Amino acid sequence: MGYEFQVVVDCADPHTQADWWAEALGWEVEPQDEDFIRTMVAQGHASEDDTTTHRGKLVWKIGTAIRHPERPRVLFQLVPEAKTVKNRLHLDIRVGDERRAAEVERLTELGAKPLHEGRQGPFSWVTMADPEGNEFCVA
């Protein structure tokens, strides 16, 4: 039996990170239901401190997710501590040798930072950092 899973990314600004990754991957940010959030606050199940406003909409402060119909969900979750060391898990964006340079350029224009190039046998990639410094590879 297999299990479904989602990938969770700890971050300082989950809504901005979700926006960035949705743009980077061509996915969409999951909509949040403002009426539901207001109802949860009104009924005492949550407080105003559990919410924030992002792009003019009421959202849960703790996080948000991006989705694609054929891929695992990626959740961006608020954490109090800053990133201090290399990721133990990272995403690879697989575009192929012929598109790698253009994709690295596009992601750099979106705010990513190229870190280094790698190669193992016939495989090569560029390791980059997203706007909060989380490493990922373009292969």
pLDDT for 56: 97
Sketch the domain layout of the chain as residue ranges: 1-82, 90-138
Confirm if 107 and 40 have CB atoms less than 8 A apart.
no
pTM given for the model: 0.91
| Confidence bin at 86 (pLDDT 50/70/90) | confident
Query: pLDDT tens digits for 114-134?
Result: 999 999 999 999 999 999 999
Domain at 1-82, CATH from 3.30.450, 1.10.10, 3.30.720, 1.10.238: 3.30.720
Q: What is the CATH number of domain 90-138?
A: 3.10.180.10
Query: pLDDT tens digits for 21-31?
Result: 999 999 999 99
Pick the residue with more confidence: 87 or 77? 77
| Confidence bin at 88 (pLDDT 50/70/90) | confident
- Give mean pLDDT, residues 24-44: 97
* Cα separation, 96 vs 122, whole angstroms: 12
Strand order through the sheet with 113-120: 91-93, 135-138, 123-129, 113-120
